[in-house]
Amino acid sequence: MVFMCVCFFLLGTLWDVPLRAVARQFYQKDYGNHVFNCDNAMREHFIAKSQLSSQPSPSAVSFLQSAEVALIDCHEYDKFRKRLISLGLTENDLAIMGLKAIEEKQTDLSNLVREHEIRY
Amino acid sequence: MKYVISNIIGFCVIFLMSLPASIASEFKSEILREAAAKNGYKVPSKVNPKFDGNKSSLGKLFFESEKLSFNASTSCSNCHLDEFSSTDGLPIAIGIGGHGKGLERVKGGGAIVPRNALPLWGRASPDFTTFFWDGKVEEKDGKVISQFGSTTPELDAVTTAISLPFVEIREMVSDDEYVKSQLMTETTGSAESIQKELVQRVINEINKGTELANAFDISVQSLEFVHVATSIKHFFADKFRLRESKFSRFFEGQSTLSLAEIDGGLIFYGKGKCSNCHSGPHFSDFKFHTIVMPQFGFGKNGFGVDYGRFNSTFDARDQYRFRTPPLHNVEKTEPYGHSGSVDSLRQIIEMHYDPLKYINTEAMNGRERRELFSIMARVDNEQPIGSALTGLELTNLEKFLNALSF
């Protein structure tokens, strides 16, 4: 009886663990792209704002306008994030996916270091 | 009854499913319209100039007449063909001595003009201020700057630009012995001699002297080449006026774009940074920029070199800079670039942010690589470099550019 209760309890609380793991795997690449795109858009926006304040010119205004439109990538990121949450993924899941996306670039960097570092 | 109910439920489900997409589309549409307006876009009706029908008819005749080629048999229409959306469909133009259309013209021989023939859409519009790849005719502070120097105070930029090919060696003038000995001088007097002869042909050979004089309300004796060129300008304003496009109708709120086209437009005005240079009603800032791309053919400066804007200003900072090309009907005017070295729209888009993808430096010799490096060195800090685009983003951007066609 106790065994049955434990089984039902575990099924009731952990039933979504494998589903979330599959979803994380399935959406990892898309989520990584959204993370990168939004990060890139925010950086470009920051640079464009800095440029306009340090060197105001018509082209600097134009750069900032483009950078503002490009922030739509962050809107797309937010939408994708909410969609994943509505599918059952938690904030922790998304944090792991975000870190994995960053790790992809870290791998590139470590390869780069391995290729170019001076060895004695 | 069951059938009707199931159909109603089906429609409701489809409607509810499409709701979020249409809301997103409307949200993005508004951003796109606002971005286009901020970047100076105007619908064709606000850009096109008025024209005189009589002058336009005469202009058409002159545009198509080989008799206005000083000592050869070519006309404007030989290189500005309807089949290629007012270009010639070739990487670089074939001027005098060329026969046929498209590839036929290459096989037929003829003098090579080392630049890609430009389309003529919107050229007669008053806000089209800079002409040719190197801007050798431009309107600046109300004055027209051109090879004619101070001898053309009466003309506007477009009429001056129209006048040029008629006196250009290789384009419509052959450098035969007479031309070499009598007309290849460092003065604008030679151009005037040729223009006087062409006016006489309009009167005596094309037999349109009286009509042309009547159109301008002057006597036949008072006719000058400016009247021929102005007639062609009216023909440009008529035939090559901007038409409504899918995008212009969308801009006015008369129709919608697909979500892919809208996304492409947001890349154009957003992270692609295309609109930083392709702005205004003609999608050109009429300024000069360096895009790293291979040179096709001998080049304006010879041996595969084309210094671009430098050829007009002799300012070293202008080396390898070319005028931002307008984008109306861009999908129909391949190949692309000042020497037509880029085959497809997708490729020319990529060349703006990832030029090395298409340049095989290992197949180049040292001189060619040095030339490439010189071009790259001219890309200054002011020049926008768009974000790298994914395959889907490139496709969407292409779809947006196609929506500019008419």
ipTM of this complex: 0.75
The Cα–Cα gap between B355 and B294 comes to 9
Min Cα–Cα distance to chain A from B231, Å: 37
Instruction: Output DSSP code: residue B298.
Output: S
Listed in sequence order, the residues at least 6 apart from B115 whose beta carbon sits closer than 8 Å to its beta carbon are: B92, B93, B132, B133, B300, B306, B338, B339
- Asked if domains B32-47+243-402 and B53-239 share a fold, the reply is yes
What local confidence, expressed as pLDDT, does residue B22 receive? 66
What local confidence, expressed as pLDDT, does residue A110 receive? 63
What local confidence, expressed as pLDDT, does residue A112 receive? 53
For the residues A96-110, what does the mean pLDDT come to?
73
Whether residue B335 is preceded by a cis peptide bond, meaning omega within 30 degrees of 0, is yes
| Best residue in B273, B286, B381, B400 for a mutation probing chain A (most A CBs within 10 Å) | B273
What local confidence, expressed as pLDDT, does residue B100 receive? 87
User: Is the minimum CB–CB distance between A63 and chain B shorter than 8 Å?
Assistant: yes
Report chain A's mean pLDDT, rounded to a whole number. Answer: 85
What local confidence, expressed as pLDDT, does residue B58 receive? 97
A62, B390: Cβ pair inside 8 Å? no
Helix B391-402 with B345-353: angle, nearest 10 deg: 120
What is the per-residue DSSP string for B279-293? -TTTT--S-EE----
Number of Cβ within 10 Å of residue A118's Cβ equals 4
| Best residue in B268, B269, B274 for a mutation probing chain A (most A CBs within 10 Å) | B269
Closest chain B residue to A45, measured at CA: B271
Question: Rounded to the nearest 5 degrees, what angle is found at the Cα of A20, between the Cα atoms of A14 and A24?
Answer: 155
Chain B (160-199) residues lying within 8 Å, Cβ to Cβ, of chain A: none
- Structural contact between residues B234 and B56, judged by C-beta atoms closer than 8 angstroms: yes
A40, B387: Cβ pair inside 8 Å? yes
Whether the per-residue pLDDT at A4 is higher than 90: the answer is no
Going from N- to C-terminal start, the domains of chain B cover: 32-47+243-402, 53-239
B270, A72: Cβ pair inside 8 Å? yes
**Does 3.40.1350.10 match the CATH number of domain B53-239?**
no
Instruction: Output DSSP code: residue B397.
Output: H
A69, B269: Cβ pair inside 8 Å? yes
Task: Give CA separation, A15 vs A11, A58, A81, A83, B382, in Å.
Answer: 5, 58, 22, 20, 56
| Residue whose C-alpha is closest to residue B227's, from B204, B196, B205 | B196
| Best residue in A69, A75, A86 for a mutation probing chain B (most B CBs within 10 Å) | A69
CB pairs under 8 A between A and B: 50
pLDDT digits (tens, 9 = 90+) for B297-343: 888 898 889 999 999 999 999 999 999 999 999 999 999 999 999 99
Please list the ranges in chain B whose pLDDT falls under 50.
13, 16
CA B367 to chain centre: 31
Chain A (74-93) residues lying within 8 Å, Cβ to Cβ, of chain B: 79
Please report, for chain A, how many H helices and E strands are present, in that order: 5, 0
**pLDDT band of A14, cuts 50, 70, 90:** confident
For domain B32-47+243-402, give the CATH superfamily. Cytochrome c-like domain (1.10.760.10)
- Structural contact between residues B124 and B235, judged by C-beta atoms closer than 8 angstroms: no
Specify the 3-state DSSP secondary structure of B258. coil
Strands of B24-129, DSSP E? 93-94, 112-113
Nearest Cβ partner for A41 among B24, B28, B271:
B271
**HSE (side-chain half, CA atoms, 13 Å) at A67:** 22
A72, B266: Cβ pair inside 8 Å? yes
pTM: 0.86
pLDDT digits (tens, 9 = 90+) for B203-235: 999 999 999 999 999 999 999 999 999 999 999
**pLDDT band of A9, cuts 50, 70, 90:** confident
What local confidence, expressed as pLDDT, does residue B110 receive? 86
User: Is the minimum CB–CB distance between B387 and chain A shorter than 8 Å?
Assistant: yes
User: Is the minimum CB–CB distance between B279 and chain A shorter than 8 Å?
Assistant: yes
Min Cα–Cα distance to chain A from B358, Å: 23
pLDDT digits (tens, 9 = 90+) for A67-84: 999 999 999 999 999 999
- Structural contact between residues B133 and B323, judged by C-beta atoms closer than 8 angstroms: yes
